[in-house]
Structure 1
Amino acid sequence: MPKIHFVNSKKIQEVPENSSILRMSLRYDGELPNRCGGGTCGNCVFIPEEGVEFLDNVKPQEKRKLGEELLEKGYRLGCQTFVTDGDIKISWDEEIRKQVVKRKLDKPKEVTSARL
């Protein structure tokens, strides 16, 4: 089973594969900041320090809330991110959290169908 190392709270917890980062933080008191659990508030933003290859793919809601700039820097949302099959180490920063919380959601891209 993979382990999540919550750097800020100095806690390390073994978790089942394909576990939500936020749910595991709540269950084992990892202290990852949170509020909504649905990707709209941005409180659970974190940066993977190790094991990024053991995280699942970025979700559309993360793209909308974090934007390209923060995603390119590696930031993710704990409520949208799952640890797959290896150990990870994550941390969070209060200034980045405040930035993300204030950020409005990007509008979803409209899908248009071409007429033949």
Structure 2
Amino acid sequence: MAKGKLSFTDIDVTVTVPAGTRVIEVSEKVGAGIIYGCREGDCGTCLMKVEGGMEYLSEPTALEDKVLKENMAGKDMRCACQAQVLGDGEVKVHPA
């Protein structure tokens, strides 16, 4: 199974995760500052900034895209509850 690296720059922690892992799942486990409300991609509280490795994240779903637009998020922003690590690279994130 493919694996990728996920770095939380707010707490300076990098972990290796299996492909398909949602960012919010790891954030909770390592104590990063990304918060969440619904975990369903509908509220926008888990917005995060992707500092690098956007190409190693899943494409936004239609629902996530809608939430990103409603929150006027920049192109470097994603919802941590929806973004999945694809593997084969490193993704660097921090809370929005």
- Tell whether the structures are fold-level matches, with TM greater than 0.5: yes
2:39 is aligned to 37
Are 1:88 and 2:91 an aligned pair? yes
Higher relative contact order (CA 8 A, sep 6+): 2
Structure 1 unaligned segments of length 5 or more: list them.
Answer: 94-116
Higher helix proportion: 1
Per-residue displacement from partner, 1:84-103 (whole Å, max 9, x unpaired)? Answer: 0121101223xxxxxxxxxx
Tell me the TM-score normalised to structure 2 length: 0.83
Cα distance in 2 for partners of 1:20, 1:38 equals 12
What is the Cα deviation at residue 37 of structure 1? 0.5
Task: Return the offset for 1:74.
Answer: 2.2
Q: Give runs of aligned pairs for residues 33-112 of structure 1, distance below 5 A.
A: 33-67=35-69, 69-70=72-73, 73-85=75-87, 86-93=89-96
Structure showing greater radius of gyration is 1
Residues 28-76 of structure 1: CA deviation (Å, up to 9, x unaligned): 32331112101122111011111111011111111221118525x2211
Q: Give the total of aligned pairs.
A: 92
Write the letter of the residue equivalent to 1:7.
T
Instruction: Measure how far apart 1:24 and its partner are.
Output: 1.5
Runs ≥4 residues deviating over 3 A: none
Aligned counterparts of 2:27 and 2:19: Cα–Cα separation in 1: 14
User: Percent identical across equivalent pairs?
Assistant: 26
**Aligned-residue CA RMSD (Å):** 1.7
Query: Which blocks of at least 5 consecutive residues in structure 2 are unaligned?
Result: none
